[in-house]
A and B are shown apart, each in its own frame.
Chain A
């Protein structure tokens, strides 16, 4: 698996799409103007709203779609699998790169947010709210990654196509916003609603059901991707 991940890293040399996605993901939270009337937590939440709840899921779908779709489009998947590389190793390496990208962007977002809190508020505010902010950002990043897992399955199934997984990502992140209109059990059952509600201050959500639905979504998404890829005729 480690060899496959290193090979993935070698493939990404001079890759413009990944660079562009990363640049957008890190530039936007740095330049976005957010109302400073709110307290630090509220301020971070507003920044998260656009970046972590909407932009990052879509950008991350670009990343995983690109990682998988290019292999089909360039027909490099045949050379890779006949190298030979086990199909699960091949897919696992892609998912690992996707996760690493997501975590790095989340980390970058956390750094930018921390710096901006220092500038907009002060160092004391940052130190006071550091734990809460870190937990908020990390939780959102991880939960959204899990909730977006069906994108991996769609990317495998769509092969050379590109737009289907992007459309699905758009719908999933939009569904998160629709979740703001729901509450209680309804908001907890649908994983994309649940991610949003779990991160809302005082969100009306049944936490155990919400985590279970996100976990199930993740297992189903990655499971379907693995099964589909294992059985796929090339």
Chain B
């Protein structure tokens, strides 16, 4: 230890306090290394029911922590900035892990439920705090000419805000919450976690302080780096934990027969094989039974077709996947044009600088803010085959035409919007297009407003009529927007779920006429609990979407070059 301090003195002059700090940090890192390695070993000794892969991940983290701790000790001795960076990273991550671990074991996260229970009692006080905020913002108007009044307003606002906040906390039960939090500290894990949270926290603080920073020869560039990671860390860690991690796990899971209850065996490509496994066999005559030509223990009949006078039957191992894929493609082909073409039309009209356009734009956007579930309920009612408005309007129209023509020109179709297997998917597409049109209109409008007016002036000088202008100026200039709108709408349409789940009874019905890929995935993953298979379906869907987007992108690029 003495040699350590004398050694470091050679590099930069440091006061005794800082030297002590660095010694404490080094000792801590040695203790931590030993602790982490022991922990990693103990993890495999005990009879805990933790899953193996979880143990592996924990062990990796602990061993990595230990290795970096050792590195940190050496670098701290040499007063290299790297040591500070490693030490801060290890301690910061340790701090976060123990802090969130503490919150977890003390039931903080599940305690949000009781907050939900009492939330309504706190709402009036929240309103009080909001009134305080409003008073404060009114006061800001006097800031320039009558600062004393602004000051008074701000005081009132602060008092009201604080009062509202405190009363809110009491109303939603902060005291029972704290009491139950404290009562958790009778067992060992919370106490240990609290202790380690404090220790890690103190270590981070010791290393972060200005004197230590100077002693560790941190340059401003290094400091900038540390700050960068620090600022990004909440986002990055959450992102890794809740998105990137699950994303990788999903890929792994698609190669297993995982069932959501912790049982998973590696089965390689079997899931994907099952999804894509199809067979084509020739038929001897047109209505020959499928079981005579294909192995019906594996395949279900999917489709029959006829080429050059010969009949064939297609069988698929997962018939429902192909049906849902077909439904999804049909849905995309219906809903995308229905929500993009009217949007383009409306946007071009809204772009004419007539009065009142903002009002119309505002109206068109309303469906996009409404919850899909609620919208589906409304449309179920509009689609009602006996008393719904849609059939009523159609009947009215048919009667009008017939009475004008004086003959039975049209017959009233009396569409079974939700009960007819031929129509149900169209009904869903109309509903979805209705909801998406306004959003697309706003996107197109923004694109149109970016087109320089000079181009139209030039076109007018050249004698182009409005239609030619639209075709030769607007559409080419709008291509990036169109690409964006088409891509996002297609991506949304490929993932259609909420609409069919709520709108159709039973979800995906009648029959399988509205079963889409995501709905099928949901049924496999959360009703049959074949989560590995569901993951494989998800990746197939992702690759489809990715391929489509790429293809649209290539086409747009090609189009750009042609111009």
A interacts with B: no
Interface of A toward B, CB cutoff 8 Å: none
B residues apposed to A, CB below 8 Å: none
